[in-house]
Amino acid sequence: MSTSAAFCKLIRVSGFEVDTDGAELLEAGRLLATGSTALVEAIRVLCCSTLFLERPRGRYANLNVYTVRGDEWVIAFSTLNRLVNALGPCQWIALTGRDLMDNMPPGVNLGIDIQDDHSFSVPSALIAAQTFTRNGEGL
């Protein structure tokens, strides 16, 4: 089962069409990987980016949390294609990085585009310590 590129390009969020190609987040991850930017700058981009996650398995709006070597993680992807490539065809949800981080369970880290060279993570302590505003400022 493949996901059409046209379907992935645009989604409707709060009545507005939002480009979801993940280009800004991908660039922020690449800059972070090369040491050309700080994690806080990548988080600013993340806050304003659309993320795709596997739809929670239960009836309630809990996020899927994975345990890896004793640490707990929520994984998110910058595009629907990246989610499908990593997890296979699945039901999915989309939300902003800010909304995701505002609703992360305590003690859970966030992994972005985990199978790509531009992947990065946001430690749970940083998520808990920050007050994220709607426009990504205040970090």
How many domains does one find in the chain?
1
Region 119-124: mean pLDDT is 95
Looking at the domain assignment, is residue 121 inside a domain? Answer: yes
Instruction: Indicate the range of 68-77, 92-101, 105-114, 125-134 predicted with least confidence.
Output: 125-134
For residue 60, what pLDDT band results from cuts at 50, 70 and 90? low
Q: Domain with 57 in it: what CATH number?
A: 3.40.1350
Q: What is the pLDDT of residue 19?
A: 44
Q: Which domain holds residue 65?
A: 20-129
Looking at the domain assignment, is residue 116 inside a domain? Answer: yes
Looking at the domain assignment, is residue 50 inside a domain? Answer: yes
Region 81-105: mean pLDDT is 91
Q: What is the pLDDT of residue 20?
A: 58
pTM of the entire predicted model? 0.78
Using H for helix, E for strand and C for coil, what is the string for 55-121? CCCCCCCCCCCEEECCEEEEEEECCHHHHHHHHCCCCEEEEEHHHHHHCCCCCCEEEECCCCCCCEE
Looking at the domain assignment, is residue 106 inside a domain? Answer: yes
Looking at the domain assignment, is residue 95 inside a domain? Answer: yes
Looking at the domain assignment, is residue 6 inside a domain? Answer: no
* Cβ atoms within 10 Å of 44's Cβ, excluding its own: 21
Looking at the domain assignment, is residue 138 inside a domain? Answer: no
For residue 7, what pLDDT band results from cuts at 50, 70 and 90? very low
What are the CA-CA distances from residue 4 to residues 1, 10, 93, 138 (Å)? Answer: 10, 11, 17, 37
Q: What is the pLDDT of residue 129?
A: 75
